[in-house]
């Protein structure tokens, strides 16, 4: 039997251990809080006054290579602690979530035509969620690597792995988000990034006690499967009278849509269609007027070549996947605004001034040198449907780059049972698009929207987010 003295000693030892533990927790939290505060944005140049909090900065994902990814967090307008975290990725590959997602689509601000300041987006997704914009992989936007070879040797796998490391380390910096419901969203080539990152998270969760609370993902006009995407694209061109019967049959007969590099004969037909038959249209919204350079304050000299100047093939997906997203001149405003030293300082971006190139909306270097790409994302869909994630796919129906026909052909290969048959859904008593709910996946079109759905149909896109987060079908009336 222990003596009174021994009992007291044991009690003192336990109390001391508790105090040490609490002190360590306090130091850890203080450190996290210090890191978080260092990333706080006080105000961006020309920014209107807002009530929500913003943070931005870098998270190192590889110490050996010196790779660091840039993020921008805009918290929810009301009760952010009760709202989920929505992570947004843009595609390309090589395009910036700051340039597109944050500044043209779902973020709280838009850049004015003079690139002198910002104005509010009344359909910002931070009405319903905390928004985290991630520039991935290294070399996109403000994200960087100290190994220049990384820009010539990257692909899907490293992008997914680095994005997972970012998320793990970012949540250490922002511990209040560790148990928060998380949803991944994005568009275009993020049709690869988003499901691939979701799979990385699901696999990571099987190996750790500190699980990431991933609930689901949503992608728009998403690159999904080489063969069916390309087949659907050519069919869209023909069915929307963009190409002649002769060119359509030549493409169908000479192109092998499964190949990553097409034959010279196929490419010559493709470029003939673009140069001689498409005419001066914006392929990212075939019914919208293209940007008139004389109307844009920013010029090609100031900002680099525009998308229509470049005509770059999207290498991983053969000649039918061109670089970048929609450009009604807004990209040009972004390229002036985010190259301003005062803007970079406010964002804690390029803090050392050692990034050896200008900030651009998309990296031509990354796009041209993308060296590893999944031929099909459909096997990942099957795996993640089985894992019970909430999965939504939406498609603006006037996009000719990753058109609705491509997405429908691809999703049809999943052979899912229908739970809610095809129906029109509504916004402001108007048909917003059409939807069908399958066992494990919801598909929706957005009527009259181009490649960047939230840019063309912001109210409809906000309804998409609201219904997705609630896990409810889109409204039938």
pLDDT tens, residue by residue, 316-334: 334 444 333 344 567 788 9
d(CA 337, CA 298): 10
- Tell me, yes or no, if 275 is annotated catalytic: no
Residue 260 lies in a domain: no
108/204 same-domain check: yes
- Tell me, yes or no, if 314 is annotated catalytic: no
Residue 178 lies in a domain: yes
Residue 254 lies in a domain: no
- Higher-pLDDT residue of 293, 96: 96
Of the candidates 314, 317, 348, 451, the residue annotated as catalytic is 451
27/171 same-domain check: no
Residue 86 has pLDDT above 80, yes or no: yes
Which pTM does this prediction carry? Answer: 0.87
125/3 same-domain check: no
Q: What percent of the chain clears pLDDT 90, i.e. is strictly above it?
A: 73
28/55 same-domain check: no
Count of domains observed in the chain: 2
Q: Is 434 helix (H, G, I), strand (E, B) or coil?
A: strand
Q: What percent of the chain clears pLDDT 70, i.e. is strictly above it?
A: 85
Residue 433 lies in a domain: yes
Residue 32 has pLDDT above 80, yes or no: no
31/107 same-domain check: no
Mean pLDDT of 397-425: 97
Residue 382 lies in a domain: yes
- Tell me, yes or no, if 39 is annotated catalytic: no
Kindly report whether the peptide bond that precedes residue 137 is cis, defined as omega within 30 degrees of 0. yes
Of the candidates 374, 399, 410, 467, the residue annotated as catalytic is 399
Mean pLDDT of 400-418: 97
233/329 same-domain check: yes
158/32 same-domain check: no
Lowest mean pLDDT among 275-284, 339-348, 441-450: 275-284
62/27 same-domain check: no
Helix axis angle for 190-205 and 378-386, nearest 10°, is 40
Of the candidates 62, 163, 188, 318, the residue annotated as catalytic is 188
9/148 same-domain check: no
299/434 same-domain check: yes
Residue 393 has pLDDT above 70, yes or no: yes
Lowest mean pLDDT among 154-163, 226-235, 243-252, 262-271: 262-271
Residue 253 lies in a domain: no
Residue 56 has pLDDT above 80, yes or no: yes
Given this model, what pLDDT does residue 259 score? 75
Residues contacting 64, CB < 8 A, separation 6+:
none
d(CA 18, CA 351): 40
Residue 165 lies in a domain: yes
Q: Which residue range is the domain that position 456 belongs to?
A: 40-242+281-477
Q: Checking DSSP bridges between strand 118-120 and strand 109-111, what pairing results, if any?
A: antiparallel
Given this model, what pLDDT does residue 352 score? 82
d(CA 447, CA 470): 22
315/337 same-domain check: yes
Q: What is the dihedral of CA 304, 310, 316, 320, to 10 degrees?
A: 140
122/184 same-domain check: yes
Mean pLDDT across the chain: 87
Residue 66 lies in a domain: yes
Q: Domain with 339 in it: what CATH number?
A: 3.40.50.1820
């Amino acid at each position: 039997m222990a003596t009174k003295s021994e009992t007291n000693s044991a009690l003192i030892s336990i109390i001391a251990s508790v105090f040490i533990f609490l002190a360590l927790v306090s130091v850890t939290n203080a450190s996290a809080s210090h890191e978080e505060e260092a990333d706080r944005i006080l105000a961006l140049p020309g920014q209107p006054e807002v009530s929500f909090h913003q943070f931005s900065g870098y998270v190192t994902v590889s110490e050996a290579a010196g790779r660091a990814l840039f993020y921008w967090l805009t918290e929810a307008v009301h009760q952010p602690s009760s709202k989920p975290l929505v992570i947004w990725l843009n595609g390309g590959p090589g395009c910036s979530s700051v340039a597109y997602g944050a500044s043209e689509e779902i973020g709280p601000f838009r850049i004015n035509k003079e690139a002198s300041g910002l104005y509010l987006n009344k359909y910002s997704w931070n009405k319903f969620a905390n928004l985290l914009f991630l520039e991935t992989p290294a070399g996109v936007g403000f994200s960087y690597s100290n190994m220049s070879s990384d820009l010539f040797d990257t692909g899907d796998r490293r992008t997914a792995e680095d994005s997972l490391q970012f998320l793990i380390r970012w949540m250490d910096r922002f511990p209040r988000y560790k148990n928060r419901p998380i949803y991944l969203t994005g568009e275009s080539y993020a049709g690869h990034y988003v499901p691939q990152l979701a799979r990385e998270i699901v696999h990571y969760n099987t190996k750790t006690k500190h699980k990431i609370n991933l609930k689901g993902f949503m992608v728009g006009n998403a690159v999904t499967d080489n063969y069916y995407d390309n087949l659907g694209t050519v069919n869209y061109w023909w069915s929307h009278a963009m190409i002649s019967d002769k060119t359509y049959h030549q493409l169908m007969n000479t192109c092998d849509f499964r190949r990553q590099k097409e034959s010279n004969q196929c490419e010559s037909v493709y470029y003939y269609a673009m140069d001689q038959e498409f005419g001066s249209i914006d392929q990212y919204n075939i019914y919208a007027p293209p940007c008139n350079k004389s109307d844009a304050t920013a010029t090609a000299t100031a900002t680099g070549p525009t998308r229509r100047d470049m005509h770059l093939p999207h290498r991983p997906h053969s000649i039918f996947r061109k670089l970048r997203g929609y450009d009604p001149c807004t990209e040009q405003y972004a390229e002036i605004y985010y190259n301003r030293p005062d803007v970079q300082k406010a964002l804690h971006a390029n803090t050392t001034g050692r990034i050896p190139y200008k900030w651009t909306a998309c990296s031509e270097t990354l796009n041209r040198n993308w060296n590893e790409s999944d031929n099909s994302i459909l096997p990942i869909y099957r795996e993640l449907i089985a894992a019970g994630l909430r999965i939504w796919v939406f498609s603006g129906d006037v996009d000719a780059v990753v058109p609705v026909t491509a997405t429908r052909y691809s999703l049809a290969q999943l052979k899912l049972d229908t739970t809610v048959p095809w129906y029109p859904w509504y916004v402001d008593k108007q048909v917003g698009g059409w939807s069908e709910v399958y066992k494990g996946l919801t598909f929706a079109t957005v009527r009259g929207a181009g490649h960047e759905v939230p840019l063309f149909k912001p109210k409809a896109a906000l309804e998409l987010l609201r219904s997705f987060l609630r896990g409810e079908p889109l409204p039938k009336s």
